[in-house]
């Protein structure tokens, strides 16, 4: 009996029984897929760029993997490696369910287990918006530091720096809700008449200090320095006409945290030239127009990927330039910047968006900010802005209002 005859007979019998030809039956096996690199219950930084990755297999072949954030497809990949980048929304305390689906050519779908992550910014103070921030909530006195060890001079901080102004801390520690990983240097309760230049490669914590002088900056993490944490400190110039031109200016590799500082008598509050920094709950006021060519609450100095600006109060009492200025002062556009739940007032245009360049700014998220009438009935001398705002390019402008509830729109 020939093989073709046997096959034909078998097919006839299977069809008679309601089955299909086993040689041509449909693929009914779903792929298997697993999220990798994330732990259920993990915390992530609001505004951070998070890499989602997965492994997927199928008996025939995987045609694509979709990554889901809650019920929304965040991105898809048709071939290995199955990875994509998701920008965590700026809202602190929000929880997200992450999962992945894998597909094969027959339309079968396999689903991963769900991993839950929570967006938690450093500090964990419970403040929800910068409009509610007061002077009493920031600076050394807010953490009970009212007397200081005086250095009398400007200070350079190096890895080998030590007492009387610095302590070598041998292990990880948490300060004001901010965790510092590994051995680090701590300066606490010190008064400096001048400035601090940070050269140390290890992390440096400046907590509850008073740093006042009329130089070009108050604190400067230099190129090559490790992360710097400035917490509950008092920084700036000494008088009108004796300002600190850029109170906090950065050129290191980033991952800096600036939390609950009182900043005044500066030309600019912050001049940011580093990446993955958090500027949280700082009170910035009393700008000195003689301290620099213009005044900005925070200016982007270029190369600002991953910058989070949240729950600050910036009161710009002069007519230029902006409470926020994302212009390309350092030659590189701001990108992947999250600006959420701040209170801004004053300046020319209160908000400058960094647009109008040959290469557009992108992935800028500006949400839930309040623009106040502290100095002008128009918020800024010309208006709230945003001036030079690029629409598109993954930029988001949402739920930003004047203090009376009037929407601020591009």
Q: Is the pLDDT of residue 291 over 60?
A: no
Q: Is the pLDDT of residue 235 over 90?
A: yes
Mean pLDDT (whole number) for 294-306? 83
pLDDT at 32: 94
Coil, strand or helix at 16: helix
Rounded percentage of the chain residues whose pLDDT exceeds 70? 85
pLDDT, tens digit, 9 for 90 and up, residues 168-225: 999 999 898 888 999 999 999 999 999 999 999 999 999 999 999 988 899 999 999 9
**CA-to-CA dists, residue 366 to 123, 258, 277, 386, angstroms:** 21, 19, 16, 10
Q: Which of 35, 50, 114, 115 is nearest to 88 (CA)?
A: 50
pLDDT at 42: 72
Q: What are the domain boundaries of the chain?
A: 25-119, 130-402
**Hey, what CATH topology would domain 25-119 get?**
Immunoglobulin-like (2.60.40)
Q: In the predicted model, what is the mean pLDDT of the chain?
A: 86
Q: How far apart are CA 339 and CA 358, in angstroms?
A: 23
pLDDT at 172: 93
pLDDT at 322: 93
Task: Give residue 94's pLDDT band: very low, low, confident or very high (50, 70, 90).
Answer: confident
Q: Which residues pair with 72 in a beta bridge?
A: 69
CB atoms within 10 A of CB 124: 14
**Highest-pLDDT range among 274-283, 292-301, 350-359:** 274-283
Provide the token pair at 163: 């007492």
pLDDT at 4: 44
Which of the two residues, 71 and 236, has the higher pLDDT score? 236
Q: Is the pLDDT of residue 410 over 80?
A: yes
Q: Which of 105, 96, 115 is nearest to 34 (CA)?
A: 115
Q: Is the pLDDT of residue 33 over 80?
A: yes
Task: Give residue 126's pLDDT band: very low, low, confident or very high (50, 70, 90).
Answer: confident
- Whether the CA torsion 128, 129, 134, 137 is positive or negative: it is positive
9-13, 256-260, 267-271: least confidently modelled range:
9-13
Task: Give residue 5's pLDDT band: very low, low, confident or very high (50, 70, 90).
Answer: very low
23-37, 133-147, 270-284, 320-334: least confidently modelled range:
320-334
15-19, 135-139, 319-323, 346-350: least confidently modelled range:
15-19
CB atoms within 10 A of CB 403: 14
pLDDT at 91: 63
Q: How far apart are CA 204 and CA 141, in angstroms?
A: 21
Which residue bears the tokens 């290191």?
252
pLDDT at 47: 61
User: 3 phi and psi, to 5 degrees?
Assistant: -60, -45
Q: How far apart are CA 30 and CA 110, in angstroms?
A: 5
Q: Are 67 and 37 in contact (CB under 8 A)?
A: no
Q: How far apart are CA 16 and CA 21, in angstroms?
A: 11
Q: How far apart are CA 291 and CA 94, in angstroms?
A: 40
Beta carbons within 8 Å of 402's beta carbon, 6+ residues apart: 370, 371, 372, 373, 379, 384, 408
User: 293 phi and psi, to 5 degrees?
Assistant: -70, -25
Which residue bears the tokens 């929880």?
95
pLDDT, tens digit, 9 for 90 and up, residues 149-164: 887 788 999 998 876 7
Rounded percentage of the chain residues whose pLDDT exceeds 90? 59
Which of the two residues, 30 and 11, has the higher pLDDT score? 30
pLDDT, tens digit, 9 for 90 and up, residues 383-409: 999 988 878 788 899 999 999 999 999
pLDDT at 224: 96
Which of the two residues, 96 and 360, has the higher pLDDT score? 96
Q: Are 211 and 246 in contact (CB under 8 A)?
A: no
Q: Which of 364, 236, 355, 356 is nearest to 305 (CA)?
A: 364
Task: Give residue 46's pLDDT band: very low, low, confident or very high (50, 70, 90).
Answer: low
User: 285 phi and psi, to 5 degrees?
Assistant: -155, 180
Q: Which of 145, 144, 130, 387 is nearest to 284 (CA)?
A: 130
Q: Which of 75, 128, 129 is nearest to 394 (CA)?
A: 75
Which of the two residues, 298 and 390, has the higher pLDDT score? 298
Q: Is the pLDDT of residue 12 over 70?
A: no
pLDDT at 45: 64
Which residue bears the tokens 């060519």?
293
**Highest-pLDDT range among 41-50, 83-92, 221-230:** 221-230
């Amino acid at each position: 009996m020939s093989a073709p005859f046997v096959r034909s007979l078998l097919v006839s019998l299977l069809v008679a029984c309601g089955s299909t030809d086993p040689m041509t039956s449909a693929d009914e096996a779903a792929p298997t897929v697993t999220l990798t690199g994330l732990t259920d219950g993990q915390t992530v930084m609001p505004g951070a760029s998070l890499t989602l990755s997965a492994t997927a297999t199928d008996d025939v072949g995987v045609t694509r993997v979709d990554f889901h954030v809650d019920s929304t497809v965040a991105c898809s990949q048709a071939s290995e490696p199955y990875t994509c980048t998701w920008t965590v929304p700026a809202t602190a305390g929000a929880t997200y369910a992450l999962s992945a689906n894998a597909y094969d050519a027959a339309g079968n779908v396999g689903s991963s287990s769900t991993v839950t992550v929570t967006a938690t910014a450093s500090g964990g103070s419970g403040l929800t918006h910068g409009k509610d921030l007061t002077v009493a909530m920031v600076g050394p006195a807010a953490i009970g530091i009212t007397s200081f060890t005086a250095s009398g001079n400007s200070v350079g901080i190096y890895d080998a720096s030590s007492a009387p102004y610095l302590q070598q801390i041998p292990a990880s520690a948490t300060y004001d809700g901010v965790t510092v990983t590994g051995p680090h240097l701590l300066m606490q309760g010190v008064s400096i008449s001048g400035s601090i230049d940070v050269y140390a490669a290890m992390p440096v914590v400046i907590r509850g200090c008073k740093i006042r002088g009329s130089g070009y900056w108050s604190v400067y993490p230099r190129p090559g320095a490790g992360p710097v944490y400035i917490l509950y400190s008092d920084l700036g110039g000494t008088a009108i006409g004796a300002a600190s031109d850029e109170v906090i200016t950065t050129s290191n590799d980033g991952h800096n945290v600036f939390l609950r500082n009182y900043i005044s008598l500066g030309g600019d509050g912050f001049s940011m030239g580093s990446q993955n920094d958090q500027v949280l709950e700082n009170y910035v006021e009393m700008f000195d127009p003689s301290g620099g060519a213009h005044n900005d609450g925070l200016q982007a100095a270029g190369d600002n990927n991953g910058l989070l600006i949240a729950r600050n109060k910036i009161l710009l009492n002069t007519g230029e330039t902006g409470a926020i200025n994302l212009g390309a002062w350092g030659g590189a556009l701001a990108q992947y910047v999250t600006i959420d739940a701040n209170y801004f007032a004053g300046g020319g245009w209160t908000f400058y968006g960094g647009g109008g360049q040959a290469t557009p700014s992108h992935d800028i998220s500006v949400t839930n900010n309040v623009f106040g009438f502290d100095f002008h009935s128009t918020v800024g001398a010309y208006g709230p802005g945003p001036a030079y705002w690029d629409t598109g390019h993954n930029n988001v402008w949402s739920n930003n209002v004047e203090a009376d509830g009037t929407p601020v729109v591009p």
